[in-house]
Amino acid sequence: MSLESPPASRPAAGIAWMLVTGLMFVAVTGIVKYVGSDIPAPQAAFLRYVLGLVFLIPMIRPMIRTGMNRQAMTLFGVRGVAHSFGVMLWFFAMTQIPIAEVTSMSYIIPVFVTIGAALFLGERLAFRRIIAIGFALAGVLVILRPGFREVSGGHLAMLANGLFFATSYLIAKLMADRVPAAAVVGWLSIIVTVTLAPFAIAVWVWPSWNEVGWLFLVAAFATGGHFTMTLALRAAPIAVTQPVTFLQLVWAVTLGALVFAEPVDGWVVFGGMIIIASVSFIAWRESVLRRRAVTPPAVATKV
Give domain status of residue 202, yes or no: yes
Instruction: Categorize the per-residue pLDDT at 2 as very low, low, confident or very high, splitting at 50, 70 and 90.
Output: very low
Instruction: Categorize the per-residue pLDDT at 278 as very low, low, confident or very high, splitting at 50, 70 and 90.
Output: very high
Give the residues across from 146 on adjacent strands. 149
The pLDDT tens digits for 264-277 are 999 999 999 999 99
Which is higher by pLDDT, 169 or 67?
169
Under DSSP, is residue 298 helix (H, G, I), strand (E, B) or coil? coil
What is the pLDDT, as a whole number, of residue 4? 42
The sign of the dihedral angle between the CA atoms of 172, 177, 179, 183 is positive
For 126, other C-beta atoms within 10 Å of its C-beta total: 13
The answer to whether the CB of 89 falls within 8 A of the CB of 257 is: no
pTM for the structure as a whole: 0.89
CA gap 256, 252 in Å, rounded: 6
Q: For residue 280, give the nearest of 268, 292, 298, 255 by alpha carbon.
A: 298
For 149, other C-beta atoms within 10 Å of its C-beta total: 11
CA gap 63, 180 in Å, rounded: 8
Residues of the domain holding 148: 11-288
Q: Average pLDDT in the 98-102 region?
A: 93
Give domain status of residue 301, yes or no: no
Which is higher by pLDDT, 287 or 84?
84
Give domain status of residue 122, yes or no: yes
Give domain status of residue 146, yes or no: yes
Q: Average pLDDT in the 36-59 region?
A: 88
CA gap 2, 4 in Å, rounded: 7
What is the pLDDT, as a whole number, of residue 104? 92
Give domain status of residue 246, yes or no: yes
What is the pLDDT, as a whole number, of residue 36? 81
Give domain status of residue 199, yes or no: yes
The sign of the dihedral angle between the CA atoms of 87, 95, 223, 301 is negative
Q: Is the pLDDT confidence value at 3 over 50?
A: no
Which is higher by pLDDT, 171 or 3?
171
The mean predicted confidence, pLDDT, of the chain is: 86
Q: For residue 189, give the nearest of 79, 39, 75, 295 by alpha carbon.
A: 79
Q: Is the pLDDT confidence value at 68 over 50?
A: yes
Give domain status of residue 281, yes or no: yes
Give domain status of residue 216, yes or no: yes
Number of domain units in the chain: 1
What is the pLDDT, as a whole number, of residue 38? 84
Give the residues across from 149 on adjacent strands. 146
Q: In degrees, to the nearest 5, what angle opens at C-alpha 82 toward C-alphas 113 and 170? A: 30
Q: Average pLDDT in the 232-255 region?
A: 84
Identify the DSSP state of 153. Answer: H
Backbone angles phi, psi at 146, to 5 degrees: -60, 135
The pLDDT tens digits for 180-228 are 777 788 888 899 999 999 999 999 999 999 999 999 999 999 888 888 8
Q: Average pLDDT in the 169-179 region?
A: 81
The sign of the dihedral angle between the CA atoms of 34, 39, 41, 43 is negative
